[in-house]
Amino acid sequence: MEEQIKQIQKKFTDEINEISDLKSLTDLKVKYLGKKGELTIFSKQMATVEPSLRPVIGAKLTETRNLIESSIIEKEKTLQEAKLQKKLESEKIDVTLPSNKTKVGSKHPLNRVIEEIEDLFVSMGYDVVDGPELETDEFCFERLNLPKGHPARDMQDSFYITSEYLLRTQTSAVQARAMLANKDKSPIRIICPGKTYRREDDATHSHQFNQVEGLVIDEDITLAHLKGTLEVFMRKLLGEKTNLRFRPSYFPFTEPSYEVDVSCFKCAGKGCNLCKQTGWIELLGAGMVHPNVLKMNGYNPEKYGGFAFGTGLDRLAMFKYGITDMRYLYRNDIRFLSQFDQMDV
Ligand code: PHE
């Protein structure tokens, strides 16, 4: 009988060594220790054993049972650890692998220019203000010294929504808004970038474009301040070698008024196709704030003076980045837009 127990133990040891998964281990456990398990059946035969041998056989049986139980527990532990290890390995993240490229959008060239201008003027103590795109005739024209029926209204063909409301044709509309909003009539220093709209229908103009307006009101403001400011503005944006040329012009809300040209950055003023062989590119409208405008918007022209300027941001962005067609700016072509991320300008 002892020999048989030994046999069972050996068989068990051989079998458990072959096992490599938890399910087979459970089956093995049932096979030996279950109700009809080999060892259980053997224990039941104890009754037939000669009484004098029972203690020895009994002890042997218990020993074997304990051994089988502890082997199973140990094997179970080993298998579970192996399983966990395998899981960890299969889920391992290799941080050195190249990642799937996430597409990041790029800043629109117009916004780049706007941000650069804002940074510059904020550094000179200006505030950046906003105005409505759906504007009233009053703010877009009347408060800028352009009463109804004024011939200069023809310079800006407009989209009227009603007889009172229109899409603003110029950011100059914020001049009057800023002056009126400033209740204590203290000095003003603002810029206002934003969208503007005109009823244009030729190849080089778009019905929607962008401008930036500048307005300064204070005591003792002279044309020299305007010139100095625009020089800093244009040199910062287009290069330190840029020169400015002031040509007399007419705007109803400034007196005197100027068209301001910058020296062509492509040919440095020598003459090329970009500047149509003139060496100059027309870029800004500017002038000293008209006394009527000051008066209409609550400022005493005897005490205060000021200057204002306005420029088209689309053209500025085109010159700055060498964009040949304005329509590119509005086509949303990612191939075009993403180029500016690589440009260190
Ligand atoms: N608003 C004018 C235009 O759109 C430009 C301008 C602004 C002129 C400020 C003088 C002063 O043409």
Tokens, residue 182: 């400033």
Please give the Cα distance from 105 to 140 (Å, whole number): 35
Please give the Cα distance from 307 to 254 (Å, whole number): 8
Exposure pattern of 42-80 as b/e (b: 16+ CB <10 Å)?
Answer: bbeeeeeeeeeeeeebeebbeebbeebeebbeebeeebe
pLDDT band at 266; cut points 50, 70, 90: confident
pLDDT at residue 255 tops 90: yes
Nearest CA to ligand 1 atom 10: 286
Tell me the pLDDT tens digit for each residue of 181-204. 999 999 999 999 999 999 887 766
Q: Which atom of ligand 1 is nearest to the CA of 211?
A: 4
| Percent of the chain predicted with pLDDT > 90 | 61
Of 91-100, 104-113, 231-240, the range with the highest mean pLDDT is 231-240
Nearest CA to ligand 1 atom 4: 170
Q: Does 196 sit in the ligand 1 pocket, CB within 6 Å?
A: no
Q: How far is the CA of 241 from the centre of ligand 1 (A)?
A: 25
pLDDT at residue 343 tops 60: yes
Nearest to residue 13, comparing CAs of 41, 30, 32? 32
Question: Would you say 340 and 109 are in contact if contact means Cβ atoms under 8 Å apart?
Answer: yes
pLDDT number for residue 60: 87
Instruction: Tally helices (H) and strands (E) across the chain.
Output: 12, 9
More confident residue, 88 or 201: 88
Interval 4-17 mean pLDDT: 89
Tokens, residue 280: 């100059």
Interval 239-262 mean pLDDT: 96
pLDDT band at 344; cut points 50, 70, 90: low
Q: Does 170 sit in the ligand 1 pocket, CB within 6 Å?
A: yes
Please give the Cα distance from 191 to 117 (Å, whole number): 9
Tell me the pLDDT tens digit for each residue of 203-226. 667 889 999 999 999 999 999 999
| 20-29, 91-100, 143-152, 156-165: segment of lowest average pLDDT | 91-100
Q: How far is the CA of 274 from the centre of ligand 1 (A)?
A: 23
HSE at residue 117, side-chain half, CA atoms within 13 A, is: 29
More confident residue, 259 or 59: 259
pLDDT number for residue 44: 83
Q: In the predicted model, what is the mean pLDDT of the chain?
A: 92
Please give the Cα distance from 287 to 247 (Å, whole number): 11
Please give the Cα distance from 125 to 221 (Å, whole number): 16
Report residue 115: phi and psi, to 5°: -65, -40
Q: Which atom of ligand 1 is nearest to the CA of 257?
A: 10
